[in-house]
Structure 1
Amino acid sequence: MNATGGFSPAKAPYRYLTRQLILSRDSRPFAREIRTVCPLPAPSSRTPLAAHPCERDDAYRPLHRKLSSLKDHRSHNPDKYLNRTVLCLSEPSLASFALADELIRSGNNLRDLGHTLVVSLNEQPFWEVDSKYKKNITHNMYRLKDHGIEIALDGYTLQREALTRFSTLNLFNYIKVSISSLDQCLKLNGNPEFFNRLHDRMVTLSHNNKISFIADRVEHIESHSLARALPFDYFQGSYYSPADHLLTEHW
């Protein structure tokens, strides 16, 4: 840190984007998920990597530039199956109208290429977000959907009636469920009927709300077997495809 309280260029924290495939139930590539993670220490730093989801609105800007640049490559034929780009954001960031405008522009660019933008929101408990932003978040979600952008809810808890600020799940096209957390819950519960109730709840949500389920964080053969035993539509995790770095730059 320099005398002004800021970071010197040599030691400024890095941010980076990770990219990971999402597969359909028949093992075809369905989407690429892009997630912003920060901070990543500068290469000269001896500090071990310690990454967490980035909360800064401007962390989306380098991704917007990358998505916008796709418009220059229309001669490339879109992949027959891999036709979605999933962008992970913290839910409070969607209170920003400027960010919503950027997402709409990027969604239009991707649509020109035959792709669909999916915004994945990591929902936080309602007490962690100022209630004054709820109206803006919901309004911007409807704006995105009106422009053909799909929305995923990340971190929804299937094994109970999760506390959520949204009065309906009809806003969402997808629900992402952590298989590692679900596996732990099943082991702690110990009730054989719990699995059947969970299966029925997923079927009900899928039918009533037209929602597709994504099994997230599938890391090994046991979690893969659990995910396949439940009515998940899509699958994601290092068991199928390890995440790789897409972009690294200074703040």
Structure 2
Amino acid sequence: MNSEKISPAGIAEFKFLRQAIVERNCTLWGSETRVDSTTNLLTHAHELHPMCREQLQCAYREALQLLTPRSTNATRKLPAASRYPAMHKFLRIDQSALMCPDMIKQLIQTSDTLEQYKQQLVISVENPLDALPSPVERRAMVRQLYTLKDRSGIKLAYNNYKLDTKPADLLIELKLYDYIKMPFPDTAIRLSLNTHSDLFNRLYDRMLELISVTRVSFIADQVEFSDSAMLAKHLPFNYFQGGYYSPAESL
């Protein structure tokens, strides 16, 4: 069977990356930590072998430890620029991991710890709801997301927003998400401006509509070049992330 061919040593190769998130004036506002794998574990996590899912859960638990502030004595020994970490700590996580009760408990515990240091935990959900195989699982996921918000000060971010993202995935009526992260490979937007098409205007209007209805804040993600940053500033983004502002660092 396939399950007998899985080698733990060949799967458990994770690395942890952190990248800054800045405000419109380029002031440091937050950071996002994500788990990266040399294998393809993060693409179809809900289909993984139980052994793989457990290894992924262990990786997320380690990522949460990396988010937890150091002790006061250890902090005093850090360089001045490192003593005051970003106040908003994002963790990018596959939604399948949120179905684990132990993971929910650890997220809440980490949020409580961060709150003592006046820091905010934000869960950046990796997959849309329609990636789940059935309505039953989608409803269960919504309940899990509400559990996080109701039992702690955790905030939620929708990751990988696009203009054609389904309103149902954003759960507009429920006002569940606090942030929307939008990748900003701006080729289509730039083409829209050059050809005088209405793509830029439609995106601008859609963002304003979501901000008005849900009070959500937009984050421009994957901003890699100065002209991309300049173009993103013409849209109602609140925050910015990408190699132009700060490359991702290994932890």
Cα distance change, pair 208–6 in 1 and its aligned pair in 2 (3 A): closer
Corresponding letter in the other structure for 1:107: S
Cα distance change, pair 127–239 in 1 and its aligned pair in 2 (3 A): closer
| Whole-angstrom CA distance in 2 between matches of 1:51 and 1:139 | 25
> Secondary structure of 2:109's partner?
helix
Measured against aligned partners, the alpha-carbon deviations of 1:77-100 in whole angstroms (never above 9, x if no partner) come to: 997782010000112322222211
Alignment partner for residue 110 of structure 2, among 89, 106, 111?
106
Cα distance change, pair 65–53 in 1 and its aligned pair in 2 (3 A): farther
| Whole-angstrom CA distance in 2 between matches of 1:236 and 1:210 | 20
Greater shift, 24-33 or 220-229, is seen at 220-229
| Whole-angstrom CA distance in 2 between matches of 1:107 and 1:81 | 15
- Paired residues for 1:122-201 under 5 Å: 122-124=126-128, 126-146=130-150, 147-157=152-162, 159-160=163-164, 162=166, 164-165=168-169, 167-168=171-172, 170-180=175-185, 182-184=186-188, 187=191, 190-201=195-206
Kindly indicate whether the alpha-carbon contact (under 8 Å) linking 1:186 and 1:194 is maintained by their aligned counterparts in 2.
Answer: no
> Secondary structure of 1:229's partner?
coil
Greater shift, 140-149 or 191-200, is seen at 191-200
The structure with the largest strand share of the pair is 1
Partner of 2:57: 57
Deviation (angstroms), 1:196:
1.8
Measured against aligned partners, the alpha-carbon deviations of 1:89-142 in whole angstroms (never above 9, x if no partner) come to: 112322222211110011001111110000001233615434332222111211
| Whole-angstrom CA distance in 2 between matches of 1:185 and 1:228 | 13
Deviation (angstroms), 1:192:
3.2
Partner of 1:223: 228
Give % identity.
Answer: 27
Cα distance change, pair 38–82 in 1 and its aligned pair in 2 (3 A): same
Cα distance change, pair 31–74 in 1 and its aligned pair in 2 (3 A): farther
Matched, 1:96 2:95: no
Partner of 1:16: 15
The structure with the largest helix share of the pair is 2
Matched, 1:203 2:208: yes
Deviation (angstroms), 1:204:
1.7
Corresponding letter in the other structure for 1:38: S
Scaled by the length of structure 1, the TM-score of the pair is 0.79
Matched, 1:213 2:228: no
Kindly indicate whether the alpha-carbon contact (under 8 Å) linking 2:189 and 2:200 is maintained by their aligned counterparts in 1.
Answer: no
**Number of residues of Structure 1 aligned to a counterpart in Structure 2:** 230
Kindly indicate whether the alpha-carbon contact (under 8 Å) linking 2:180 and 2:218 is maintained by their aligned counterparts in 1.
Answer: yes
Corresponding letter in the other structure for 2:138: K
Cα distance change, pair 61–17 in 1 and its aligned pair in 2 (3 A): same
Kindly indicate whether the alpha-carbon contact (under 8 Å) linking 1:216 and 1:237 is maintained by their aligned counterparts in 2.
Answer: yes
Corresponding letter in the other structure for 1:233: N
Deviation (angstroms), 1:188:
6.7
Partner of 2:50: none
Deviation (angstroms), 1:8:
7.5
> Secondary structure of 1:192's partner?
coil
> Which sections of structure 2, spanning at least 5 residues, go unmatched?
46-55, 77-81
Matched, 1:116 2:120: yes
